[in-house]
């Protein structure tokens, strides 16, 4: 933009000087003829006018080219900005978050009251997972069992997996639309998803039982170093997650 402004000023100056020169030569017509003669005075006047005109035209043309390039550049920048806006990633709702998942299920209940029984089954699984996590945390806190913190991480992973599975139910409800009932859902798939989640909940419950048993043995020094059963349950849960089909 500064370059365009400079060229515009230059064009105005050249035009002004050309006009000033023409006026000056016109005012000095008689003295110039006396000094140079009619023929030479005429040649000087014509040469000055031609030179000034050519210089003015060149400057004006250069200005026009600069303006055209600037417009093209501006248009390109605008298109680039528009493409950048259009290519911005769509915000993704974190469906691994139990809070976000719970809010989405409750929103479906509000919009589709006939789906409340299905949503309550989903919410019950989230509530059950919360309860298992609370018990596991209480068990570790009471026994100062920091050595079992990996079980807490395992339950956190289970919770995220359950939320991801429930996304399949939520997706069906979104497609079905507000006011839908169970006839608009693939209840076979819904039941399969909830069965997979229930399997994870049952395994998490067993992990809690095995954790308590291992803590008792550890505290009494009765084979407390053997974590094989506990580790096996963690592996069972991981295998169930890795074999899930609802992500």
247: closest CA among 123, 115, 95? 95
Average pLDDT per block of 10 residues along the chain, 247 residues long: 66 67 58 57 57 64 68 68 59 82 96 96 97 95 89 95 96 95 95 97 96 87 74 94 69
pLDDT of residue 15: 66
Tell me whether residue 92 is in a domain.
no
- Is residue 224 located within the same domain as residue 137? yes
The answer on 143 and 71 residing in a single domain is no
**Residue that finishes a domain, picked among 54, 86, 118:** 86
For residue 150, what are the domain limits?
98-242
C-alpha closest to that of 230 among 244, 247, 220, 216: 216
* Diameter of the chain measured on Cα atoms: 130
CB 229 within 8 A of CB 210: yes
Question: Are 26 and 61 part of one and the same domain?
Answer: yes
pLDDT number for residue 173 = 96
Q: What is the pLDDT of residue 32?
A: 53
Same domain, 77 and 104: no
In a domain, 159, yes or no: yes
Contact 213, 223 (CB under 8 A): no
């Amino acid at each position: 933009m500064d370059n365009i402004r400079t060229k515009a000023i230059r064009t105005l100056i050249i035009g002004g000087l050309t006009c000033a020169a023409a006026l000056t030569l016109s005012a000095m017509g008689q003295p110039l003829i006396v000094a140079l003669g009619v023929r030479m005075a005429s040649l000087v006047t014509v040469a000055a006018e031609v030179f000034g005109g050519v210089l003015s035209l060149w400057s004006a043309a250069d200005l026009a080219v600069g303006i055209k390039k600037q417009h093209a550049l501006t248009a390109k920048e605008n298109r680039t900005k528009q493409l950048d806006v259009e290519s911005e990633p769509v915000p993704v709702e974190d469906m691994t978050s139990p809070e976000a998942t719970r809010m989405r299920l409750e929103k479906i209940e509000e919009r589709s009251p006939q789906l409340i029984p299905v949503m309550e089954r989903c919410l019950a699984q989230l509530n059950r997972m919360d309860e298992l996590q609370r018990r596991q945390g209480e068990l570790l806190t009471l026994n100062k069992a920091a050595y079992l913190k990996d079980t807490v991480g395992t339950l956190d992973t289970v919770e995220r997996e359950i939320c991801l599975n429930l996304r399949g139910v939520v997706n069906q409800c979104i497609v079905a639309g507000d006011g839908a009932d169970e006839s608009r859902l693939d209840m076979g798939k819904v039941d399969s998803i909830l069965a997979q989640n229930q399997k994870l909940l049952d395994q998490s419950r067993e992990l809690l039982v095995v954790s308590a048993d291992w803590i008792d043995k550890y505290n009494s020094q009765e084979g407390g170093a053997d974590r094989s059963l506990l580790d096996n349950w963690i592996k069972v849960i991981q295998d169930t997650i890795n074999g899930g089909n609802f992500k």
